[in-house]
Copies of this chain bind each other. A is one copy, B any other.
Amino acid sequence: MVQVAVLGYGTVGSGVVKVIETNHDSIMEKTGVDLRVKYVLDLRDFPGDPIQERIVHDYDVIVNDPEIRVVVEVMGGTEPAFTFSKRALEAGKSVCTSNKELVARHGTQLQQLAHENHASYLFEASCGGGIPIIRPLRTSLTADVIDEITGILNGTTNYILTKMIDEGLEFDDVLRDAQQKGYAERNPEADIEGHDACRKIAILSSLAYGKRVDFTDIYTEGITKISSADIKYARAMEKTIKLLAYSSREGDEVMAMVAPYLVDKEDPLYSVSGVFNAIFVHGNMLGDAMFYGQGAGRDATASAVAADVIEAAQVLGTGVVSDWKPEKQLLKDVSNTRKPFFVRVPGDASQRQEMEAIFGPIEVVDAGVDGEYGFITESMTEAEYESRASQAEGILSMIRIREK
């Protein structure tokens, strides 16, 4: 029997208890692992809930209990999650987490600590919720040199964009609605400004390219500027708008960014709608692959955490090696990366020569919006775009175009 402690009885924590208990027999039959939740750490009590008798308020009870071999950290935030994780690993207990903030900030150190103590630090649920992506990167795509990862990694923004597109609504209205339905936080900044996606692409890129990608180095733009007019143009181009977390490698050079992109309908990411997430990976041998599923939600996330718990339990005493090098991966300046840009300007298409004089050959897009028109530039660097855009007057919006 492998005894487990769960830190935090919130959404994910209660889900983990549910998965381990509901699927106990199936897990045992498939993997031979007999999992039991011995403690749940929470500040609160849950009178009437069968969990109550296993609730503890003092972390020392858990960390000092030699029967506990795996600790599930689903508290979120940096502290006390970081201290608790360190103490567990130092005591030779494995830690499984869904805490992307902690993994992005301190994952390198925690993996190192796990390694030194023959334990595992696992974080499948930190990226893409229930989608198996961390373990496939670590164990299935081992024969490949990965040269691109593009993810729709944030369910809240994808839900908002999908609603805006399907119903022609404005950002603020959809956000308010999403908050009422519980799909967006009351303080939605981490999602809508792209910070959440940024942390996740940092984790995935560290794993795929082998060195620590620091999320604070990643150029990040959210979706707050996307308007219903942008959506009209996207429709006219038979494209959609997605918040993409993108990174690529060419030789030793890695670049990463988070920004809204126009995505073509031939792209496998096009039809990833609502709260679903997807991660597109390109390998030098594998070619294109994509992993799709529920990026959030209690049960899906808990399922990923529980799969980590099972793996940690299977290698007790040795630990899973799943780390990247602690040295920092320098990121290529985003301003040197190329792509076409979609631009909206005041006036009408009869004035296209003005824009051509600045941007070079353009393709005009008519979406029937009064007093303005849109156009697509040829592929150019961000720096070139910036320099040209500074010569154009009154640009209403710019959205990057994903090239495949």
Contact = CB atoms under 8 A, between A and B. Distances in A.
Contacts of A145: 23, 26
Interface string A124-147: 100000111001100111111100
B290 A292 contact: yes
A142 B307 CA distance: 6
Contact of A286 (B139, B142, B290, B300): B300
Given A135-B136, A142-B310, A292-B268, A22 B284 contact: yes
Given A285-B303, A302-B285, A142 B27 contact: yes
A300 B285 CA distance: 6
Nearest to A136: B132
B143 A124 contact: no
Interface in A268-305: 268, 270-271, 276, 283-294, 297, 299-300, 302-304
Contacts of A307: 139-144
Interface of A: 15, 18-20, 22-23, 26-27, 29-31, 124, 130-132, 135-136, 139-145, 210, 268, 270-271, 276, 283-294, 297, 299-300, 302-304, 306-307, 309-311
13 contacts: A19-B143, A30-B142, A124-B140, A135-B139, A139-B307, A140-B304, A141-B307, A143-B306, A143-B310, A144-B307, A276-B288, A285-B299, A287-B300
